[in-house]
């Protein structure tokens, strides 16, 4: 009897233990499930670590070398081309004829005006005879009329002489195209038998004065790089034909304002844009081996002496005039770790197109910085790491 009672007690205790264990297991399961379900609904963030260092400013540009001195020579009168005297790459001297034009119509006009001058001179002789007759006859009225007519004819004669002189100068100037300076013919558009088609008939450049490259960049970057007029820069010339790639010295000839460019801001959540002032650099390159048209590039780079935390621009946010970032704060718990977004205000910063440098006292080494979030964040929001 006592044995049966003892067995019954053991069974009851076992059932209670099993029920308690099942209850605790269920509570633990539902707690973990609830936490897991809640964590799935949290904003998902992509993070990265800031690096300590100086901000690097870069200025890169490429282009084609153009002659520092170049003249585009149009057809002066629109006449048909009679003969082209040079071809591309020919060296020419100042004043050398390059193109001859069909000036037959202008020459005929000049002949007609010359004949008209002869007629006026003959008519003047007739008026002079009439003036002499009026002087001998003593008729005052006829004398005055003859005198006025004589003066008028002389004026007409002077006008005609000036007209002929102008036609001669125009004909001399327009019947041929001449080189304005010593140089090289870089382009020939003139075609014999045809008039100009809107392009200059000839392009002549001077290789004596070298070649130039124009580039634009952000005014702030150019200032940070301390680029100045007269400064020597390295110009990389790409390989072309039998010419290997090489590096030449270039000289900053001019720095001028070049308006502004419109730039989007990665830190601005509403996609607002800003205007960035620009500067234009004109760089002179002189070398006997250059012919013009070479592909060249320039790269300037300098790291600031100031040190700070470097962050991708996408990590920076703005609320009105306030700039800030979010870093991740980790809280350890019995059921797992929680990650909290903490807002860090930035009072001062420097930046380039890729990175922003903030003061070294705003972060600690190893801090995780939120670069991207699936939802807008507020200070203190729980997040889940990607």
pLDDT of residue 219: 92
Indicate the CATH number for domain 104-174.
1.20.58
CA–CA distance, 223 with 248 (Å, rounded to integer): 23
Measuring CA to CA, how many Å separate 239 from each of 68, 136, 285, 290, 293? 21, 92, 16, 12, 12
User: What's 302-368 look like in SS3?
Assistant: EECCCCEEEEEHHHCEEECCEEEEEEEEEECCCCCCEEEEEEEEECCCEECCCEEEECHHHCCCCCE
Q: Looking at residue 23, what is its pLDDT? A: 67
How far is 342 from 370, CA to CA, in rounded Å?
Answer: 10
Fold for the domain defined by 58-68+209-303: Elongation Factor Tu (Ef-tu); domain 3 (2.40.30)
Class level of CATH domain 42-56+308-385: mainly beta
DSSP 240: B
Determine the pLDDT at residue 270. Answer: 44
Report the side by side order of strands in the sheet with 355-358.
51-53, 308-312, 355-358, 350-351
pLDDT by residue for the chain (386 residues), tens only, comes to 455 666 677 777 777 777 777 667 666 555 555 555 456 678 899 999 999 999 999 999 899 998 888 899 999 888 889 999 999 989 899 999 999 998 888 788 878 888 888 888 888 888 887 778 778 776 777 778 878 888 888 898 889 889 988 888 888 888 899 999 998 898 999 999 888 878 899 999 887 888 999 999 999 899 989 999 999 999 999 998 788 999 999 999 999 999 998 875 544 444 556 788 999 999 999 888 888 889 999 999 999 888 999 999 999 998 887 889 999 998 886 556 889 999 999 887 888 888 999 998 889 999 999 999 989 999 989 998 88
Note the maximum CA span of the chain: 187
Domains of the chain, residue spans? 42-56+308-385, 58-68+209-303, 104-174
Whole-model pTM? 0.60
Q: How far is CA 381 from CA 41, 95, 276, 328, 378, in A?
A: 12, 80, 35, 10, 6
Do the two domains 58-68+209-303 and 104-174 of this chain adopt the same fold? no
3-state DSSP call for residue 57?
Answer: strand
């Amino acid at each position: 009897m006592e044995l049966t009672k003892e067995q019954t007690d053991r069974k009851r205790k076992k059932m209670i233990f099993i029920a308690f264990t099942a209850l605790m297991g269920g509570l633990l399961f539902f707690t973990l499930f609830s936490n897991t379900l809640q964590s799935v609904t949290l904003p998902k963030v992509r993070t990265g670590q800031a690096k300590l260092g100086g901000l690097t400013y870069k200025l890169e540009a490429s282009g084609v070398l153009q002659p520092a001195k170049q003249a585009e020579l149009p057809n002066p009168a629109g006449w048909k081309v009679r003969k082209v005297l040079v071809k591309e790459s020919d060296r020419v001297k100042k004043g050398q004829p390059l193109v001859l034009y069909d000036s037959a119509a202008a020459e005929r006009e000049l002949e007609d005006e010359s004949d008209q001058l002869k007629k006026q001179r003959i008519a003047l002789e007739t008026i002079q005879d009439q003036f002499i007759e009026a002087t001998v006859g003593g008729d005052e009225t006829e004398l005055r009329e003859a005198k006025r007519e004589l003066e008028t004819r002389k004026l007409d004669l002077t006008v005609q002489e000036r007209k002929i002189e102008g036609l001669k100068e125009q004909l001399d100037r327009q019947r041929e195209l001449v080189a304005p300076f010593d140089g090289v013919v870089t382009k020939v558009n003139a075609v014999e038998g045809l008039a100009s088609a809107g392009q200059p008939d000839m392009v002549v450049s001077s290789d004596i004065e070298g070649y130039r490259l124009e580039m634009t960049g952000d005014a702030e970057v150019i200032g940070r790089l301390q680029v100045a007029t007269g400064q020597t820069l390295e110009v990389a010339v790409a390989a072309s034909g039998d010419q290997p790639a090489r590096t030449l010295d270039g000289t900053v000839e001019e720095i001028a304002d070049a308006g502004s460019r419109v730039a989007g801001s990665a830190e601005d959540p509403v996609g607002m844009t800003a205007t960035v002032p620009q500067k234009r650099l004109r760089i002179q390159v002189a070398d006997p081996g250059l012919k013009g048209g070479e592909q060249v590039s320039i790269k300037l780079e300098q790291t600031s002496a100031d040190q700070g935390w470097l962050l991708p621009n996408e990590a920076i946010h703005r609320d009105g005039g306030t700039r800030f970032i979010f870093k991740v704060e980790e809280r350890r718990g019995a059921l797992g770790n929680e990650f909290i977004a903490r807002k860090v205000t930035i009072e001062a910063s420097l930046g380039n197109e890729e990175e922003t440098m903030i003061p070294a006292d705003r972060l600690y080494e190893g801090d995780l910085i939120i670069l991207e979030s699936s939802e807008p964040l507020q200070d203190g929001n729980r997040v889940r790491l990607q």
